[in-house]
Each structure stands twice: as structure tokens, then as C-alpha cells.
Amino acid sequence: MLNEEKSGKSSAGLTQSLCKAFDILACFTAETPLLRITDITRRVGMTQSNVSRLVATMTAYEYLEKDEDSGCYQLGRKIITLSSVALNHSSLRCQALPELFSLEQKYGVGANLAVLDHGSMYYLAHVDSRNSPRMYTMVGNTNPLHCTAIGKVLLSAMTDEEIAAVIREKGMPSFTYNTITSPDVLMEQIERCRRLGYSVEYGEHALNSACIAAGIRNRNGKVIAGLSVSGKFLGESLQEHEERVASIVIESAALISNKLGCI
């Protein structure tokens, strides 16, 4: 009586109590960071006692912690500690960070590093622009491919079939009135990116956002990540200086690729 339908994972041979625990952890999102046992129970469709015991275990190991004021559970410190191990171990991140710092230093832009992951991308590193620092962590966030500069770069490195598969699976949700929602328009931009070696995004994910990105290759020459800059370039709009900025980003991305062993 496996509940493969529910979790969507084929749990053949997997340790189920562990799967359940992970399903519980997955309930804690940016939208719902505080949950009570009953909230979790409703979401994951297990019995309260089961949830209660798994939560107790995760609390004991500090993967969750109880907010004594609200009585709700939230993600615990162990998650943060482990994440620092993971990030500091990422050679991609470590090789790219100096470049990100340097881009901010020289041009006052924000700099981002993101990697492809199952038809989406997530950020591995980010350096804030001194002019418009963010108040939230971007590292770890997942974004769609069709509306971000890095996303388009990653798409450009795929075959047309792979791109079609991503669009089929993920759709092209709209975030602003600039978001590309037509596959044909997206393909045009991807073609352009393939020709020029960089991609752009102006207000497609959030209004006033602006990004220019280039691909980073691993030692096999495969594009596995993207580097982008955002915000203002020397105080002026990215769009105005697109070609100049693009050449800078391409060069930085190539430098990182080299560090990773791509010749």
C-alpha cells in the first residue's frame, strides 16, 4: 500500500519513514514557514501521531524548532549549518565568487550565479550591489528558466527537444506584463542568445528587474551554470549599455569556465 500517487516519488526500496520526514520538511516554504502539527498533518495526509513523532525527532536533531510564542514549528538551525557546508564545498561557487565580487566592485552591479536543476535554476551565489542591497537571501531560491537571463542562457545550451520538454513540463507562467508567454517568442530570444553568446531579461520576472547573463561551462565544455549581472551599470541602465556589459559578462563567465577546467 505505497502512496506513490501522493508524494509523486516512486518510493520503491526507499525508507518510508524518511520519505515522510522529508515530505514534512518540504511543507516549510517561504509562504508557509510556520506550521503546527495539524497544518502539517493536513498537508501531507498522514496521521497526527505519525507527524507528531517525526516532528519530535526532527526537533531533537534541530532540523525543526518550536517557536515557543506561536507554538508553531519552523526550520531549525541544522539546516543552516548543513547548507554552509554544502555551499563552501561547491567548487563552482568558490571559483565564481571572486568574479562576482569583482564585477560588483568595478561596475556597481549585482552579480548572480545559478545552476540548472530539473528544468529550473537555483542560485548558488549572489553578491549584492552596494547601491541596492537585497534584504533577503537569494542563494537557494529557485526560479523558472523562461523569464530570467540565466534561465535563457541555460535553455540556449539545450537541444530544441529538451527546451520543448521543459516548456511542456513547467509551462511559461507570467510574472509581469513583460513575461514571455509564447514559446515562439522565447525561441527567437534563445536563437539570439545562441548567436550572441549572452541573454537579457528586462522586467520579465519582476518589474524593474534587469539582467544580462552568459553561460559557464564545466571541464567537458557543457553549460552547467550561468553568470548574470543585475541592477545598474555604473549608475546607468543595463539596457543602455547592453553590448558593453554583455562582453564583460561573457568574459567573466569564460574566466570561471577556465577555472573549472574548460579550455
| Nearer residue to a second copy within complex by CB, 30 or 263 | 30
Rounded CA separation 77/94 (Å): 23
Q: Does 13 bind DNA (CB under 7 A)?
A: yes
| Nearer residue to DNA within complex by CB, 2 or 26 | 2
Number of chain positions touching DNA (CB under 7 A) = 24
Rounded CA separation 64/58 (Å): 6
Q: Does 32 bind DNA (CB under 7 A)?
A: no
Rounded CA separation 140/117 (Å): 12
CB of 29 to DNA, least distance (A): 18
| Nearer residue to a second copy within complex by CB, 90 or 178 | 90
Q: Give how far the C-alpha of residue 89 lies from the chain's centroid of Cα atoms, to the nearest Å.
A: 17
| Nearer residue to a second copy within complex by CB, 65 or 242 | 65
Interacting residue with DNA among 32, 34, 49, 134 (CB under 7 A):
49
Rounded CA separation 236/38 (Å): 51
CB of 111 to DNA, least distance (A): 36
User: 46 is in the binding site of which of a second copy, DNA, none (Cβ under 5 to 8 A by kind)?
Assistant: DNA
Q: Does 1 bind DNA (CB under 7 A)?
A: yes
Radius of gyration (C-alpha) of the chain in whole angstroms: 21
The size of the chain, in residues, is 263
Torsion of CA 67, 70, 71, 75, to 10 degrees: -40
| Nearer residue to a second copy within complex by CB, 38 or 81 | 81
Q: Which stretch binds DNA (CB under 7 A): 49-57, 108-116, 173-181, 229-237?
A: 49-57
Instruction: List residues binding a second copy (CB under 8 A).
Output: 9, 13-15, 17-19, 21-22, 25, 28-30, 33-34, 53-54, 56-58, 60-61, 63, 74-89, 94, 97-98, 101, 105, 117, 122, 124, 127-128, 130, 133, 135-142
User: 239 is in the binding site of which of a second copy, DNA, none (Cβ under 5 to 8 A by kind)?
Assistant: none
The 10 Å Cβ neighbour count of residue 54 is 23
Looking up cell 547601491, which residue turns up?
131
Give CB contacts under 8 A, 24+ apart, made by 234-239.
234/107, 234/108, 235/108, 235/131, 237/210, 238/109, 238/200, 238/202, 238/210, 238/211, 238/212, 239/200, 239/202, 239/210
CB of 235 to DNA, least distance (A): 50
Q: Does 52 bind DNA (CB under 7 A)?
A: yes
Q: What letter does residue 208 receive in the DSSP assignment?
A: T
CB of 2 to DNA, least distance (A): 7
Q: To 5 degrees, how large is the angle CA 60–CA 65–CA 69? A: 135
Give the residues lining the site for DNA (CB under 7 A). 1-2, 13, 15-18, 20, 36-39, 41, 46-50, 52-56, 71
